[in-house]
Structure 1
Amino acid sequence: ELLEKYGGWESKHVVDLFEKFAKTAFSLFGDDVKYWTTFNEPMVIPEAGYLYGFHYPKYSGKGKEAAQIVYNINLASAKAIRAFRESGKDGEIGIILNLTPAYPRSDSREDTEAARLVDGFFNRSYLDPAVKGEFPKDVVEVLEKDGVLPAWTQEELDLIRNNTVDFLGVNYYHPKRVRAAEQADREQWKDWMPDWYGVEWEWPEARINPYRGWEIYPKAMYDIAKNVQDNYGNIKWFVSENGMGVEGEEKYRKADGSIEDDYRIDFYKEHLEQLHKAIEEGSNCIGYHPWTAMDCWSWNNAYKNRYGFIAVDLNDQSRTIKKSGRWFREVSDSNGFTIEEKK
């Protein structure tokens, strides 16, 4: 509420307050904590809070403000990185991004351009400054052409350029399927929105997790790994989140209380196969962290969708290891699993 009084992440003052917060954290915990990340899923703030209104402060259609927020968070991250390096503390500092690869509906120029712009705004607008120290030129050109370029200074741009991450965390759940925007799409929004260029499209062949409405597309894990390898200097990175939320898992409960969640095991197997393939081809991935250990609470859905290896009974808070948890323990102990031949 206090930060909202200053304008939230639209405000450069909030950027300075974040730097102050980071300095305090480094001072208090820098002798013990060796690995830091500045933000987790920073795109959620403008996307959910200002573009489409499903997270606080629940604005929608505020594309210009969202662009400024993307810039301000990148600036705040760079200031925190600078503060960490100036602190003299041992360790490394990075950022965690939720990457949603954008795939065009067709090979047409219109659809491929739309997917490129959507990827630019929702993925590369954080990925490029964090790793390369610069904003994607194609996105900057569009924002400038449309008169919604964020307010920035050369001093700030220099600071971003000189304070890039040591490593990258990636949260991956689903891709974006994109088609070129049509006149009707543009008319839905009074003011500038990325939807003026590309909108999400339902691929008829998509495998959908019905509880989240998200597409299950393991190959995107490979595509992310190769993108980081080929276009971002093969920076050290890890999968910080990847998982499957399912509603009503009690219907898969056995007599002993455990959950027979073979669907979750299949989900992880398919994603790990794709990640393993990329690592074999040289991608510098150093770790894989599923989401999550125990069923957890969500901002929008409370405990509706269960993600954990361990089931949580909300009546008495008792914990029971699911079949997937025992499977993942075996994977961890043996450092792998056998890939079954596809029939």
Structure 2
Amino acid sequence: MTIHYKFPKDFWWGSATSATQIEGATDEGGKGKNIWDHWYEKEPNRFFDNVGPESTSDFYHRYKEDIQLMKEIGHNTFRMSISWSRLIPGGRGEVNQEAVTFYNNVIDELIANDIEPFVNLFHFDMPLELQEEGGWESREVVSAYTAYAKEAFHLFGDRVQKWFTFNEPIVPVEGGYLYDFHYPNVVDARRAAQVAYHTMIAHAKAVEAFRTCNIAGGQIGIILNLTPSYPRSNNPADLKASRITDLFFNRSFLDPSVLGEYPAELIDILREHGQLPVTEKGDKALLKAGVADILGVNYYQPRRVKAKEHLPNPYGPFMPDWFFDNYEMPGRKMNKYRGWEIYEKGIYDIMINLKENYGNIESFISENGMGVQDEGRFEQDGEIQDDYRIEFIREHLKWLHKAIEEGCNAKGYHLWSTMDNWSWMNAYKNRYGFFSVDIETKQRTPKKSAHWIKEVSENNGF
């Protein structure tokens, strides 16, 4: 077999997960409540098929089996998250020893199987008590997060070298404070800006704490969902729409986390519309010092935009959408199950942008993947024939390979996700895993893509 696409030595092959989406055991092991547990109790109707996070993929009880499966398909790295409400129920104070034992066991099991753990501290799962204090709107909650981060570094830093402060921090901003698809279901751009700003302050404080821990070979970063904003045309109005979209949805986190400062144009827009967050003296220096060592890049789909067709409603709430309209490009390739465009070259465009405008920061694809509904349709002889997923991964990897050949500092590729998991609003509607999970029995079965990725990993290419 000829390898046409060979990846650099020690390339990271693996997958990504999050605590709330795989652990289950929401009432076990001393775990406190997070916003998902609470929202599901309050409004189960907001969740697909009324299914909540109580059991998900049951990783809490099956981690050993799952780590064996990762090893079997050639993983050398795996990204997980710690549940803040499991480690420190209520978000402050006493550390839960049962959680320490669980996370120690998972980390040790990974290392014993030659899989390096990448640990993320926050994946959308705010402890309920802290949300009730205002969540990321509150500077006190930022302090609680910093204490939690220090605790995690102290507990697990002897074995974990790769740390991440946040996963997709724009999502709680969009979902919780702009577009009403996550709890606390607020629609208020000024509060959204405050949440975004405090998230970056929390990131910078965690970085500062990490650097005092002197973890040998340790790196700390952040994971951002970077979505290129492609203009409909080269008309100046379309170009401006795409530039402002990029400011709101990409650069609002990318610039402060990699360059240590916010884009002046974004500040100007927020100031002009009275949406600036409250800041404190010393924040500028904190952000400057808190830049990431490493950047995780989540990429699923592009964003295509055009100039506004109509003026915004002057009585409606301020929104980023005042500056652009979404554009449906004719002939685009779609994942019809998810309603998302498939545009593999986006991964290359992101990497080139990081190389040219962000100091070629060390990065990796921390999520990429394809959610498909009713995958049972594609089962033959007990195995899901997910050729569409293999094609999706392969075509993205080709573009990633090209970026690396052109000097981009990309170190790995993680699929979302290891096994089918519970998804925030969609429960199990769309399946993403290398392994299918029977929701009743929790049995894991490799899909065709699992065998394919094993070969890719073993050959370090395809």
- Of residues 174, 193, 196, the one that matches 2:319 is 193
Mapped to 1, the partners of 2:357 and 2:333 lie a distance apart of: 28
Q: Distance in 1 between matches of 2:228 and 2:406?
A: 20
Structure 2 vs 1, CA of residues 188 and 215 (structure 1 numbering), >3 Å: closer, same or farther? farther
- The 5 A counterparts of 1:202-241 are 202-241=328-367
Which position in structure 2 is the counterpart of 1:162? 289
Task: Give the TM-score normalised by the residue count of structure 1.
Answer: 0.94
**Which position in structure 2 is the counterpart of 1:176?**
303
Closer/same/farther in 2, CA of residues 25 and 133 from structure 1, 3 Å limit: same
Is 1:244 aligned to 2:370, yes or no? yes
Q: How does 1:326-337 map to 2 (within 5 A)?
A: 326-337=451-462
Letter in 1 for 2:432: Y
Provide the rounded CA distance (Å) in 1 between the counterparts of 2:241 and 2:146. 35
Unpaired runs of 5+ in structure 1?
A: 338-343
Cα RMSD, aligned residues only:
1.3
Instruction: Indicate whether 1:278 and 2:403 are aligned.
Output: yes
Q: CA deviation at 1:189?
A: 6.5
Q: 1:12-38 CA distances to partner (integer Å, 9 max, x unpaired)? A: 111111111111112222222211100
Please name the residue that 1:340 is paired with: none
**Distance in structure 2 (CA, Å) of the matches to 1:205 and 1:156:** 46
1:298 is aligned to 423
- Any runs of at least 4 consecutive aligned residues in structure 1 with deviations exceeding 4 A, and if so which? none
Cα distance in 2 between the residues matched to 1:194 and 1:334: 45
**Offset at residue 199 of structure 1 (A):** 2.8
Per the alignment, in what secondary structure is the counterpart of residue 306 of structure 2?
Answer: strand
Q: Give 5+ residue unaligned stretches, structure 2.
A: 1-127
CA shift digits 1:189-230 (9 cap, x unpaired): 722211111132222222121221111110100001101111
Q: Does 1:3 align with 2:112?
A: no
Matched, 1:52 2:183: no
Map of 2:444 onto structure 1: 319
Identity of aligned residues (%): 53
Instruction: Give the alignment partner of residue 148 of structure 2, picking from 21, 43, 50.
Output: 21
Name the SS of the counterpart of 1:183 in structure 2. Answer: coil
What is the aligned counterpart of 1:264 among 380, 389, 396?
389
Q: How far 1:89 moved relative to its partner?
A: 2.7
Select between 202-211 and 325-334 the one with higher mean Cα deviation.
Answer: 202-211
CA deviations on 1:46-82 (whole Å, 9 max, x unpaired) are 111111111111223x111111111111110000000
2:415 aligns to what SS in structure 1?
A: coil
Q: Which residue of 2 aligns with 1:137?
A: 264
TM-score (norm 2): 0.70
Q: Are the equivalent residues in 2 in contact too, given 1:64–1:193 (CA < 8 A)? A: no
Q: Per-residue CA shift, 1:282-333, capped at 9, x if unaligned?
A: 0000010111121111011111101111111223222221111111111111
Counterpart of 2:177, as a letter, is Y
Question: C-alpha distance in 2, partners of 1:183/1:81?
Answer: 43
The number of residues matched between the two structures is 334
SS of the residue corresponding to residue 97 of structure 1 reads: strand
Supply the distance in 2 between the matched residues of 1:223 and 1:241 (Cα, whole angstroms).
Answer: 16
Classify 1:245/1:188 alpha carbon distance in 2 versus 1 (closer, same or farther; 3 Å).
farther
Counterpart in 2 of 1:341?
A: none
CA distance in 1, matches of 2:329, 2:191: 30
Q: Structure 1 residues 281 and 189 mapped into 2: Cα distance closer, same or farther (>3 Å)?
A: farther
Identify the structure with bigger relative contact order (alpha carbons < 8 Å, sequence gap 6+).
2
Aligned 8 A contact 1:114 1:178 in 2: yes
Q: Secondary structure at the match of 1:141?
A: helix
Inter-partner Cα distance in structure 1 for 2:150 and 2:452: 41
Relative to structure 1, is the Cα distance of residues 249 and 78 closer, same or farther in structure 2, using a 3 angstrom cutoff? same
Deviation digits for residues 222-247 of structure 1, max 9, x if unmatched?
00110111111011000000000000
